Amino acid sequence: MPRITDQELIARAEIQDLLTRYGQAQDQDEWSLYDDIFTPDAAIHFPGMPMESRSAADFGRFLQEFNKTRISGQHLIGNTLYRFENDGRSAHVVSEVIYITLHPTDTPGRLRRIRGNALYSDQAVLTADGWRIARRDIAQKNVEIDEADYDAVLLSAIESASVTRWFGSSGDEA
């Protein structure tokens, strides 16, 4: 394996920040974070899934609407591999994803849980504004949906944590 250069380490950190922003935008409803992740013409594809390809902007709007149906969510993105191309100005980036979302049901104290695993295959490019994702393929690997009862105190804590602006667009913490 060739040695990693200082430039490549910096690029990896900047690309990892994009991946983190993507998860945090969704999980914390901080959609201003989503604005700097993708190129203006970025496309998102869903191979093997009954979902048509769409622009990153359109997918962001879809996610914002979906988030209105949930109480909480979490995306963990890791096991990321990088392959730099084009003299370090582009990169193929593959990450494993674990996610869970909690949705209300008609029964008080009972939530629907959606848990899954996916793979993000990204084509990242270095732009004048920094690294951006130009293409993302989302490959679903597993999905489990069930319902579970939650104690009222725990449910209240989850709901409270979900509306707290932990990071905030201004950079202020909760």
Confidence of residue 169 (pLDDT cuts 50, 70, 90): low
138 domain-assigned:
yes
122 domain-assigned:
yes
110 domain-assigned:
yes
Give tens-digit pLDDT for 128-163.
999 999 999 999 999 999 999 999 999 999 988 888
What SS3 string covers the chain?
CCCCCHHHHHHHHHHHHHHHHHHHHHHCCCCCCHHHCEEEEEEEECCCCCCCCEEHHHHHHHHHHHHCCCCEEEEEEEEEEEEEEHHHCEEEEEEEEEEEEEEECCCCCEEEEEEEEEEEEEEEEEECCEEEEEEEEEEEEEEEEEEEECCHHHHHHHHHHHHCCCCCCCCCCC
23 domain-assigned:
yes
73 domain-assigned:
yes
Which pLDDT score is estimated for 20? 96
Number of compact structural domains in the chain: 1
Residue 18: domain span: 6-163
171 domain-assigned:
no
- pTM flag (> 0.95): no
CATH number of the structural domain spanning residue 102:
3.10.450.50
46 domain-assigned:
yes
85 domain-assigned:
yes
